[in-house]
Chain A
Amino acid sequence: MMAIPLLGALALLLPAGRFLPGETAVRRFGLGVSGATLLVAVSAVTAFDFGDPARMQLEIDRSWSPAIGLRFHLGMDGISLPLVLLTALLTFLCFVHTIKHPPAGGRTRLLTALLLVLEVGLLGTFTALDLVLFFVFFEVVLIPMYAIIAIWGGANRRPAATKFILYTLLGSGLLLVGMLLVGVQAGTLDMTVLADRHGEGLTRGVQITAFLLMGLGFAIKAPMWPLHTWLPAAHTEAPTVGSVLLAGTLLKMGTYGIIRIALPATPEGAVFWAPWLGLFAVVGIVYGALACLAQTDLKRMIAYSSVGHMGFVLLGIATLTPVGVNAALFGNVAHGLITGLLFFLAGSVKDRYGTGDLRELGGGMLTTAPRLAGVLTFASVASLGLPGLAGFWGEMLALLGAYRPNGDLPRGVFLAFMVAGALGALLTAAYFLRMLAKITHGPPPASVPDGAGRVSAYEYAAWTPLIALTLLVGLWPKTLLDVTTGPVRALFGGG
């Protein structure tokens, strides 16, 4: 069932070179395909049995390369379902946005094709249940993103793209070694089997090594401090759609991978490394927030804020408790929605004013572009973790998890993490308010570009679903928690 969007995207990708003359037609085509994918994803939700979210559902399991035991095994449970939806939605919204606001650099045909490949890779990563298959999709994502940054990026796009690809390829290398170690030692590549075993059949040494390797691979993607430096560069240079997908979904592959593969397959390794993971996560929270306070570029600031937010996600994972992992999953989705929205907005600001520099933007955006500034305020407030909006629950649950971490972990250390994380949340508020005060408040600058105040229907169309979902998930966190709690408990081997 999950193959439908996959095949659809792939099949429709090929002829994109030959038919559909004209830019608009290509854009509409991309919109249609991603829309269809979204529809399939939504129908997958309706087909999903919410009574038992812990069970793998909608599976397909075919032999792929029998000689070495590879299987084409896809499926969804409560952990992957929200991310699949998020991916389909964000890609669709990106296409909506591109219709009227294509990134500078032309070559729409190529862009459309790349975005679709990217979507295939992302969906595949979130549904793959075979280690090698997972890795293949994981890699499929890299190349289109590299190309998107390298072709449609800003002035310094080349170094940024190179850094991105080298960094993440290094991570992939480590990841592959770690996965193969697990696969060979355990004798199976099937993720569901590995998860059911809870590390049985793997010695402690193997688990620790494998978790370190895979963890590093995923941590680069997440990104975890101090492996994050590719992110600000990539975000600053990437075009709007690239940033949105990068922040909204690509980063989630890292944390998803830890939860899906590293935690269940190598639990002892997880216990061994969790304090370190927590430490780096907390450093990331505080460090990211401090870095944000000193940034002068809007996109760069949002990029660093991602480091902080993903820090909360990693902290949740590091607690090795159901509530912590729930926090991580919630934080993933919330961050995808909110930061996706923020990058859309940053793109719109850049479109209008020609710059993302806070000083050059001046102030008074609430006067010159009230709607844009209003939505920006909303997104910032959501991002700083206001209760009632999506950002809060992930952070709060992560702190809750850190107060009482898994019994095998040092409690005192995690208490310190909790306090540091909470203070980091305060700093988060500080930098968002600083940004808002800088560009939306104050007297408007002398010259304002024409049409800055107008918001196109396509922009509204791209923003509204994100705003609505941020509100929905924030006001009614049950929607998400009900789906994830079951499988997360199963992950820890309990009912």
Chain B
Amino acid sequence: MIVLTSLIVLVPFVAAFVGFLFGPRLTRLLGGRPPAAAPVGATVVTEAEADADPDSAAAGATPPEAARAAAFRNGPALIACGASAVSLVLAVIVGFVAWRSPGVRTGVLTTIDAGSVPIRVGLHVDGLAALMVVMVCTVAFAVQLYSVAYMAKDARYSSYAAFISLFTAAMLLVVLSGDLLVLYAGWEVMGVCSYFLIGHHWEDRANSRAAVKAFLVTRLGDVGFLLGIIILGVGAGTFSIDGIIQRAPMLPDGTVLAAALLLLAGVAGKSAQFPLHTWLPDAMAGPTPISALIHAATMVAAGIYVVARLFDVFVQAPTALAVLGVLAVVSMVGAALAALAQDDLKRVLAYSTISQLAVMAAGLAVGAKPAAVFHLVAHGAFKALLFLAAGSVIFVAGTNLLAGYGGLRGRMPLTFGAMTIGFAALAGVPPVSGFFSKDAVLEGAQHAALHGGELVHSASTPGGRAVEGGLTLVGVPEGPGAVSGSYTGAAPAPLSPTNLPADAALPPAVAWLIYLGLLLTIVLTAAYAARAWLMTFFGEYRGTGEPREAPRLMSWTVAALAVPAAFLGFTGLASGELRPHLGSALLGLLLTAAGIGAAFLLWNRDPALDPARSLGPARPALARAFYLDEVYALLFVRPVRWLAGRVAVADDRGIDAAVNGIATGTRRLAGTLRLPRDGDAQSYLTGLLAGFVVIAAVVVVFL
């Protein structure tokens, strides 16, 4: 089992290197072959096996026939898609095993002793991890397939595909690692991959800047993250996550709080929460499939995942949870408002990601961990769908701007259908997945608000564990029927009763803030989702040319992703906690309807115009996301630049000048000292005599 799991991580990792080194060569090798001959294709597969892995044939099973021939002559695509397909198959196996027999499986490869706290390189699989693995692999595979067509004309597709493989491997490492430092390694590798992928079109300086910004902003958070890890690790005497969770209750409150807050800095960076969210909208500079990967399955999900993984530590520091909750409210409302005013489809989706991640963070803050994880998975499915569909729209219409679309419903029916499901899930329209998951979070927040900030605590009840087990199925659309109530309570995982301090509660004000913030976000989300949907697919086409449906490899991948996005929600019915509750569900529905209705009424007045015009004078501020970038530039970037300039000058004129000054001084001193030694015998003799007199005088006077 653990060997299988390690293979899930290793396969994309190896594929990344193989892709870097041999990708283009493989294409050249295959390029000379006639594309039509099917038997040749078969031999090609065997060749690819030698390079990549034994199961590349699995990759061929999914893409439609038409794309097959082209894909089979594309070396990097073969390697990348093959590897992610193998990973997906393995992930499904692991997920299945984890669901059938829940429990924690660990394996330690080696222990690194560096003279202090040892680092245990090992993996850890539980229900949560298995669920995430399935989701990550599914999205990664979809993105790889989609990219084959989307990036077909790109000269650097090879390195692009390899970086996606590396990215996937890093995310899987984060999910599966049993040790915080190893997790950090994956965490950082992801950061650098995002840097390379966002800056994929580096000919344009703006993209290069966006990439640098993404890396630096997330790394700023990572500084805190690493320090938090060190504090926890040294405090608990181990970096193993299980060990830390076990020992967290024994640690002093101050230590846990400091560590939790520092970890939150890293989480805010990776999961793009206020105040470190500014990199995400700019990251839209990357190719659209990358946005799907970053927003849905990797990177941003990592932050939420880590909080969920270390939830028992955060519970020990309710203040940290309160901070998380407040940040989440600021992020979700602020980003939703900003999304209303964006005129770029991808930026609408980017701000919606920030907002939705904040919803998960809010769920975690009120203690509704299963609900948050449920929303994470659902969001992964529908956001990947939305981005890939948006990629099709951009591919076809040739622009990112909403103003350039309109009336695409009839021209791109498949994309229209898929994207409708995606937007419905985003807005929380039943019966699509987003409705269920958002409702679960809302229910948790309502509970906390009405009970004076009491945490939902479900993370450690047997039911909660079983939910994770049940949810394992979520990423496997083939078998939703297998979920049955009989698993509730079937897996009483060993509990440490010390895990939950009696006073673990949020300040009631924070709980109310979270609850109200969620309600407001629901309205706003529905409004901006409806606006983007209407402006893209309805009214008259405002662009030029004759848009037609995207290539089949793209549109069918999108359509396939629509299945989990639509039906994932029903898996939640298996568990009592995730089942929709009448009160919150009705309230949520009402608000959603209000948001959609408002957007529709505004749009309906004149379908050719942007409904956002009615935001009036607030619109520019929202479009620039409250000028936060400008503020940061003023507060941080410029002072650092100025300081750097001063240091360089100071080094030259200050320290080095002091050194040179000493040299000059020495020379001058030497010159002065040299004066008596001018070679004149008379002056030497005079000196000698004078010395003699002085000595004699001293002797006479003092003795």
User: A interface vs B, CB < 8 Å?
Assistant: 163, 166-167, 226, 229-230, 232, 287, 290-295, 321-323, 325-327, 363-364, 366-367, 381, 386-388, 392-393, 396-397, 399-401, 403-404, 418-419, 422-423, 425-427, 429-430, 433-434, 437, 440-443, 477-478, 481-482, 485, 488-489
Q: Which of B302-310, B439-447, B521-529, B639-647 contacts A (4 or more CB under 8 A)?
A: B639-647
B187 to chain A, nearest CB (A): 8
Q: Is the CB of B115 within 8 A of A321?
A: yes
A479 to chain B, nearest CB (A): 10
B226 at interface, CB cutoff 8 A: yes
From 137 to 191 in chain B, residues with beta carbon under 8 angstroms from any chain A beta carbon are 181, 184-189
Which of A364, A426, A427, A434 gathers the greatest number of chain B CB atoms within 10 Å?
Answer: A426
From 110 to 146 in chain B, residues with beta carbon under 8 angstroms from any chain A beta carbon are 110, 112-117
Q: Is the CB of B113 within 8 A of A291?
A: no
B563 at interface, CB cutoff 8 A: no
A399 to chain B, nearest CB (A): 6
B81 at interface, CB cutoff 8 A: no
> Which partner residue on chain B sits nearest A427 by CB separation?
B640
Which of A392, A401, A422 gathers the greatest number of chain B CB atoms within 10 Å?
Answer: A422
Further contacts, 14 of them, CB under 8 A, given A229-B659, A400-B114, A419-B227: A229-B655, A290-B643, A291-B647, A322-B115, A323-B115, A387-B184, A388-B188, A400-B233, A423-B223, A426-B220, A430-B216, A437-B211, A443-B203, A477-B112
Q: Which residues of A contact B202 (CB under 8 A)?
A: 366, 437, 440-442
Q: How far is the CA of A326 from the CA of B117 in the complex (A)?
A: 13
Q: Is the CB of A399 within 8 A of B227?
A: yes
From 185 to 244 in chain B, residues with beta carbon under 8 angstroms from any chain A beta carbon are 185-189, 192, 195, 199, 202-205, 208-209, 211-212, 215-216, 219-220, 223, 226-227, 230-231, 233-234
B233 to chain A, nearest CB (A): 8
**Which residue of the partner chain, among B117, B186, B647, contacts A400 with CB atoms under 8 Å?**
B117
By Cβ-Cβ distance, the 7 closest A-B pairs, closest first, are A322-B115, A323-B116, A387-B185, A293-B644, A294-B648, A441-B202, A441-B208
A77 to chain B, nearest CB (A): 15
Q: How far is the CA of A230 from the CA of B234 in the complex (A)?
A: 38
A22 to chain B, nearest CB (A): 37
**14 A-B residue pairings within 8 Å (CB atoms):** A163-B659, A229-B656, A290-B648, A291-B644, A295-B648, A322-B116, A326-B114, A367-B203, A386-B188, A387-B187, A404-B234, A418-B227, A434-B212, A485-B113
Q: Is the CB of A478 within 8 A of B110?
A: yes
Q: Is the CB of A442 within 8 A of B223?
A: no
Q: How far is the CA of A393 from the CA of B182 in the complex (A)?
A: 11
Q: Which residues of B contact A427 (CB under 8 A)?
A: 640
Q: How far is the CA of A384 from the CA of B672 in the complex (A)?
A: 49
Q: Is the CB of B647 within 8 A of A399?
A: no
B663 at interface, CB cutoff 8 A: yes
Do A442 and B651 form a contact, CB below 8 Å, given A293-B641, A430-B216?
Answer: no
Q: Which residues of A contact B215 (CB under 8 A)?
A: 429, 433
**Which residue of the partner chain, among A290, A426, A441, A443, contacts B647 with CB atoms under 8 Å?**
A290
Q: Is the CB of A293 within 8 A of B115?
A: no
Q: Is the CB of A396 within 8 A of B226?
A: yes
B423 to chain A, nearest CB (A): 35
Q: Which residues of A contact B651 (CB under 8 A)?
A: 229, 232, 287, 291
Q: Is the CB of A481 within 8 A of B113?
A: yes
**Which residue of the partner chain, among B204, B234, B655, contacts A403 with CB atoms under 8 Å?**
B234
Do A429 and B234 form a contact, CB below 8 Å, given A290-B644, A388-B185?
Answer: no
User: B interface vs A, CB < 8 Å?
Assistant: 110, 112-117, 181, 184-189, 192, 195, 199, 202-205, 208-209, 211-212, 215-216, 219-220, 223, 226-227, 230-231, 233-234, 640-641, 643-645, 647-649, 651, 655-656, 659, 663
> Which partner residue on chain A sits nearest B116 by CB separation?
A323
Q: Is the CB of B216 within 8 A of A433?
A: yes
Do A287 and B647 form a contact, CB below 8 Å, given A381-B192, A423-B223?
Answer: yes
Do A397 and B644 form a contact, CB below 8 Å, given A404-B234, A441-B208?
Answer: no
Q: Is the CB of B647 within 8 A of A388?
A: no
Q: Which residues of A contact B656 (CB under 8 A)?
A: 229
> Which partner residue on chain B sits nearest A295 by CB separation?
B648
> Which partner residue on chain B sits nearest A422 by CB separation?
B223
* B interface: dominant SS: helix
Q: Is the CB of B188 within 8 A of A387?
A: yes
Q: Which residues of A contact B208 (CB under 8 A)?
A: 437, 441-442
Q: Which residues of B contact A399 (CB under 8 A)?
A: 226-227, 230
Q: Which residues of A contact B230 (CB under 8 A)?
A: 399-400, 403, 418
Q: Is the CB of A226 within 8 A of B655?
A: yes
Q: Which residues of B contact A426 (CB under 8 A)?
A: 216, 219-220, 223
> Which partner residue on chain A sits nearest B213 by CB separation?
A433
Q: Which residues of A contact B643 (CB under 8 A)?
A: 290
Q: Which residues of B contact A397 (CB under 8 A)?
A: 114, 116
Q: How far is the CA of A399 from the CA of B222 in the complex (A)?
A: 14
Q: Is the CB of A429 within 8 A of B647?
A: no
Q: Is the CB of B212 within 8 A of A437?
A: yes
Q: How far is the CA of A433 from the CA of B211 in the complex (A)?
A: 9
Q: How far is the CA of A167 from the CA of B659 in the complex (A)?
A: 9
> Which partner residue on chain B sits nearest A431 by CB separation?
B644
Q: Is the CB of A485 within 8 A of B115?
A: yes
A389 to chain B, nearest CB (A): 9
Q: Which residues of A contact B115 (CB under 8 A)?
A: 321-323, 325-326, 485, 488-489
Q: Which residues of A contact B659 (CB under 8 A)?
A: 163, 167, 229-230
Q: How far is the CA of A489 from the CA of B219 in the complex (A)?
A: 33
Q: How far is the CA of A104 from the CA of B114 in the complex (A)?
A: 44
B163 to chain A, nearest CB (A): 12
Q: Which residues of A contact B233 (CB under 8 A)?
A: 400
Do A437 and B209 form a contact, CB below 8 Å, given A366-B202, A426-B219?
Answer: yes
Q: Is the CB of B655 within 8 A of A481?
A: no
Do A403 and B231 form a contact, CB below 8 Å, given A290-B644, A442-B202, A481-B112?
Answer: yes
Which of B189, B220, B659 gathers the greatest number of chain A CB atoms within 10 Å?
Answer: B659
Q: How far is the CA of A291 from the CA of B654 in the complex (A)?
A: 13
Q: How far is the CA of A309 from the CA of B59 in the complex (A)?
A: 45
A49 to chain B, nearest CB (A): 19
Q: Which residues of A contact B212 (CB under 8 A)?
A: 433-434, 437
Q: Which residues of B contact A393 (CB under 8 A)?
A: 114
Q: How far is the CA of A232 from the CA of B656 in the complex (A)?
A: 10
Q: Which residues of A contact B641 (CB under 8 A)?
A: 293-294
B451 to chain A, nearest CB (A): 38
Q: How far is the CA of A364 from the CA of B125 in the complex (A)?
A: 44
Do A429 and B216 form a contact, CB below 8 Å, given A322-B115, A437-B209?
Answer: yes
Do A442 and B117 form a contact, CB below 8 Å, given A229-B655, A387-B188, A423-B223?
Answer: no
Do A387 and B189 form a contact, CB below 8 Å, given A323-B114, A481-B112?
Answer: yes
> Which partner residue on chain A sits nearest B111 by CB separation?
A478
Q: Which residues of B contact A418 (CB under 8 A)?
A: 227, 230
A492 to chain B, nearest CB (A): 9
Q: How far is the CA of A293 from the CA of B231 in the complex (A)?
A: 30
Q: How far is the CA of A62 from the CA of B649 in the complex (A)?
A: 52
B516 to chain A, nearest CB (A): 36
Q: Which residues of B contact A287 (CB under 8 A)?
A: 647, 651
A355 to chain B, nearest CB (A): 19
Q: Which residues of B contact A387 (CB under 8 A)?
A: 184-189
A303 to chain B, nearest CB (A): 11
B189 to chain A, nearest CB (A): 6
B273 to chain A, nearest CB (A): 19
Q: How far is the CA of A93 from the CA of B483 in the complex (A)?
A: 62
Q: How far is the CA of A323 from the CA of B110 in the complex (A)?
A: 18
Q: Which residues of A contact B216 (CB under 8 A)?
A: 426, 429-430, 433
Q: How far is the CA of A259 from the CA of B651 in the complex (A)?
A: 28
Do A386 and B189 form a contact, CB below 8 Å, given A294-B645, A295-B648, A426-B223?
Answer: yes
> Which partner residue on chain B sits nearest A400 by CB separation?
B230
> Which partner residue on chain A sits nearest B196 by CB separation?
A377
B295 to chain A, nearest CB (A): 22
Q: How far is the CA of A229 from the CA of B202 in the complex (A)?
A: 35
Q: Which residues of A contact B234 (CB under 8 A)?
A: 400, 403-404
